Structure 1
Amino acid sequence: MIEIIQGLPENVVAVTVSGILTGEDYDRVLVPAIEDKAQKYGKIRLLYQLSEDFEGFTDDAMLEDARFGIRHITEFEKIAVVSDVEWIINAVKVFKLVIPGSVRTYRNKDLSEAKAWISE
């Protein structure tokens, strides 16, 4: 499940993911939010939190994430990934080398720090 996090600047899409993330979650929540902000602001910022009760991705969610990321890669000015899942953190560290914007990783205990950075 994906839920929008409120209270951040208008050019920021902030979400928290819990339970099992599905492709439908992307299509219903994340994709429209990002496309709307990208249309309004051109460059946007993304705060993507995998909450402590995150359980994983379905195959279609992983595919949708890859496809969407490739199509919109140049629209991200900053990306903050917040997670306690080691393989997610390590994957982000690898992929940030090919993402044109700034990318940082944070632990769930540092969510407020991630919010501050993405808002700067």
Structure 2
Amino acid sequence: MLRIINNLPQHVVGIHASGEVTKTDLDKVVIPRLDDLAKKQGEINYLLVLETGVQNFTAGAWYEDIKAGLKHFTDWNRIAIVSDQKGVEWFTDAVNFAIPGKSKGFPLTELDKAVKWVSKVNKQPAD
């Protein structure tokens, strides 16, 4: 299940993942917000708090996630993934070499630090 994280700066999309994550979750919760933010700001700052195992993402969810990532490939400014899964944190840090923006993994105990980091703006808003 995915839900929006409130009380973040307007230029940050925050998502909390728990339990099973499906294609419908991505279609209804994540993708509209990414599309809207990219249109309004010209960049995406994305925070994902992952309190479920990556194995709990369905194949459809992974497919939608990849599609969204490619659709907004040049829009990524900062991606912060907060998880106690060491493999996820390592993968997130490694993504820096594959996307134009920055990505960083944080443990759950550093959620405040992740919010501060992901909230930094590098690009100017789109006209």
The TM-score, its normalising length taken from structure 2, stands at 0.87
Structure 1 unaligned runs (5+)?
A: none
Partner residue of 2:98? 98
Amino acid at match of 1:37: L
Which string of whole-angstrom CA distances, capped at 9 and with x for unpartnered residues, describes residues 46-104 of structure 1? 011102xx142111111111111111111111111111123322322332211111111
Partner residue of 1:47? 47
Q: What percentage of aligned pairs have identical amino acids?
A: 35
Q: How many residues matched?
A: 118
Partner residue of 2:23? 23
Partner residue of 2:5? 5
Cα distance in 1 for partners of 2:86, 2:22 equals 20
The TM-score, its normalising length taken from structure 1, stands at 0.91
Which string of whole-angstrom CA distances, capped at 9 and with x for unpartnered residues, describes residues 18-44 of structure 1? 101111100010000111111111112
Which runs of at least 4 in structure 1 moved beyond 3 Å after TM superposition?
A: none
Cα distance in 1 for partners of 2:89, 2:15 equals 17
Higher strand share: 1
Coordinate RMSD, CA, aligned: 1.2
Structure 2 unaligned runs (5+)?
A: 121-127
